[in-house]
Amino acid sequence: MRAVGIILAGGNSHRMKELSHKRAISAMPVGGSYRAIDFSLSSMSNASVQKVAVLTQYNSRSLHEHLNSSKWWNFGRKQGGLFVFTPTITTDNSAWYRGTADALYQNLDFLKRCHEPYVIIASGDCVYKLDYNKVLEYHIQKKADITVVCKEMPPTEDMTRFGLVKMNEDSRIEEFDEKPMVSTSNTISTGIYVIRRRQLIELVERCAQEERYDFVRDILIRYKNLKRIYGYKIQDYWSNIATVESYYQTNMDFLKPEVRDYFFRQHPDVYSKVDDLPPAKYNPGAEVKNSLVSSGCIINGRVENSVLFKTVFVGENCVIKNSIILNDVHLGDNTYIENCIVESRDTIRANSHYVGEDGIKIVLEKNERYVL
């Protein structure tokens, strides 16, 4: 493919509460066996993007462990490959990434050394499948300076956490409003962009000279009347997991047959790092209904409408309803969990009772709270 990929995976979301205290949002487990960044990496790989840079920063240890081998996404190659960049202290700079444009600027040498004419920029905290080749073809056909991948959202969605766009009949973006208090459109930017590489270098360098650091506010919004910025609408499943509510709902979506079929069975595939784990074990008395149970789990109790990630132990007479149990959790006997997210590597003592009555309850070893 004639494009190089960049995945922005360094951000932190306070809306994730305790879930983001020990990991980057891009490293959040999704759908039983995946991490959030797997969806962007898989789309890059399926589009034959041979060179991808992942820009990390906040709580990146877990993410780096996940990316320690590029073979899972078919980036173990002599030409190109997977590159992971963190903020680097130099004689000219000792700052962390101050924004998305600054993250690109601090890794501008990578873009300057590339030979591909185009750049695909994606976020690492979204769940989707997308053919980047079609987006690039659209970008070239429209003779666009920048193409923004967009999606129409239902009226019930919280629009205040997205960038809203308005397009004319030719799909050219005329208005771009970043995270407005009052929504005037239901068409959002998905955080996926296509731009010519040399133009991106020029725009990012200009931002740095003017001490501007945000790609959306300081490039897309600032240049919307000067550059030809077009929107490319997608119809398939797309979700951003950067809040507790959206993270919970996205995992619950995987319990729907059409969503499971789309991600698990339909081409192209979604790839992830594979652990050598045995299949899930269901002991006598186990009862599982409409749930995802991952490898390494041992089930002794009842699980309904829930997602259990890898190596979860469910004790005798346990009941789990409408909940997400992250990796390596041990649930003691006679435990009752409903409408909760249980943090990874946690041990829930026997006879415990947790119910999210007014929202989604995050269950931690020493601290529990409601997220409204």
> Cα(243)–Cα(161) distance, rounded to whole angstroms?
9
Cβ atoms 346, 365 nearer than 8 A: yes
Enclosing H/E stretch for 188: strand 187-196
Mean per-residue pLDDT over the chain, rounded? 91
pLDDT tens-digit profile of 254-274?
999 999 999 999 999 999 999
Instruction: Write down the pLDDT at residue 365.
Output: 64
Three-state helix/strand/coil letters over 330-342: EECCCCEEECEEE
Query: What's the CA gap between 233 and 324, in Å, rounded?
Result: 31
Task: Specify the pLDDT at position 371.
Answer: 44
Question: Distance (Å, rounded) from C-alpha 255 to C-alpha 262?
Answer: 12
- pLDDT value of position 155: 82
CA-to-CA separations, 17 to 12, 125, 355, 363, in angstroms, rounded: 10, 15, 18, 12
- Residue found by looking up tokens 């601290």 in the block: 367
Place of tokens 């929504």: 183
* Residues 60, 24 contacting (CB under 8 angstroms): yes
| 282 has a pLDDT exceeding 50 | yes
Instruction: Say what the pLDDT of residue 9 is.
Output: 92
Phi-psi region of 74 (alpha: psi -120 to 50; beta: other; left: phi over 0): left
Question: Cβ(124)–Cβ(9) under 8 Å?
Answer: yes
**Which of 174, 18, 143, 4 has the alpha carbon at shortest distance from 82?**
4
Is the separation of the CB atoms in 303 and 291 below 8 Å?
yes
Q: How far is CA 275 from the centre of its chain?
A: 20
Question: 247: Cβ–Cβ under 8 A, 6 or more apart, which residues?
Answer: 16, 19, 28, 241, 341
Tell whether the model's pLDDT for residue 252 goes beyond 90. Answer: yes
**pLDDT more than 70, % of the chain:** 98
Give the model's pLDDT for residue 109. Answer: 93
Return the pLDDT at 178: 87
Q: What is the mean pLDDT of residues 296-318?
A: 96
Q: What tens digit of pLDDT does each residue of 345-372 get?
A: 889 999 999 999 888 989 886 544 444 3
Q: Can you read off the two tokens belonging to residue 30?
A: 């999704």
Measured CA angle at 298 (ends 282, 263), to 5 deg? 85
pLDDT digits 0-9 by tens, 328-349 = 999 999 999 999 999 998 899 9
pLDDT over 90 (residue 188): yes
User: Mean of the pLDDT values across residues 183-194?
Assistant: 91
Label the pairing between strands 281-282 and 173-178: unpaired
Block residue for tokens 């490293």 = 27
- Pairing relationship of beta strands 347-348 and 336-338 according to DSSP bridges: unpaired
Under 8 Å between Cβ of 145 and 229: yes
Q: Is the pLDDT of residue 19 over 70?
A: yes
d(CA 143, CA 186): 26
Confidence check: pLDDT of 140 > 80? yes
| pLDDT tens-place string over residues 96-128 | 888 899 999 999 999 999 999 999 999 999 999
Residue 329 main-chain phi, psi, to 5 deg: -105, 135
Report residue 161's pLDDT band, with 50, 70 and 90 as the boundaries: confident
Can you say how many angstroms the Cα of residue 351 is from the centroid of all Cα atoms in its chain? 35
Kindly report, residue by residue over 215-235, the tens digit of the pLDDT: 999 999 999 899 999 999 999
What percentage of the chain exceeds 90 in pLDDT?
75
What number of other Cβ atoms are within 10 A of residue 229's Cβ?
A: 25
